[in-house]
Amino acid sequence: MQRVENMHSNREEKATLVVDIGNTNITCGIYQSDQMTWFARFHSSHSRTADEYYSLLKPLLSGLSGESISSIAMASVVPELTRIWQHLFQKYLQAGVWELTALSVPGLSYKVPDPSFIGADLIANAYGAWRKYGTSCLILDLGTATKVQLVSAEGCFEGTAIAPGLKTGADQLFEKAALLSPIELTAPAVLLGTNTRDALLSGIVQGHAFMLENYVRQVKLHYFDHKDMRVILTGGIADLVKPLVPAADIVDKSLTLDGIHLACKDSR
């Protein structure tokens, strides 16, 4: 599965390719003059080679040559795919590769002495929110896992909570429950269903929203000294959940890629 959006304004301008490698999807963006001008998403597959990934990537670049990509910024939480994409960069793109880690981003501080274990996606989200919004931010990232993380206005990564993602939990339920069949996840019509589909949508989607609402409430209570806290929803299903999470202020689906791009730019 792949999706591409083209927003090019000047194809001759030097560009940065930003790649975020996750457990479910690999997202890519082209940045020119600090603006994302192109976006694509691939399914994360361990069986694909670097050549196969490039065969998917190349036609989607829509006129951008390898020479016009002057730099590459990458974040990954999948070591095996990291190696595959590093091989792709080395073989096909003549540009230096910068990899985001807790130790490579400038300015962020952490509540632990050794932050090297913190996932690159969490670091990218924290850095992107800190740089883009300039205030304390509570980030709700809806992916393979649902991550709730807080970064202060001063750029301190306060901590995170990690739970099974909405779709991940739903897939496990359908796999384990013999009498339940997979359904398309949409906004629930009722709080308590009178049929299996409505009951599942309320329990899976609305239940996840209740969890997020309560996390926001509890974080604001426990971290009351973080004034003007912005609550940001990101991730592939952020639009689905937003109407059910009134506490969320912003949907920012490009937050992770923006964070990688900004951290790479600021580290130069």
Catalytic residues: 121
Residue 168 is which amino acid? Answer: T
- Cβ atoms 138, 222 nearer than 8 A: no
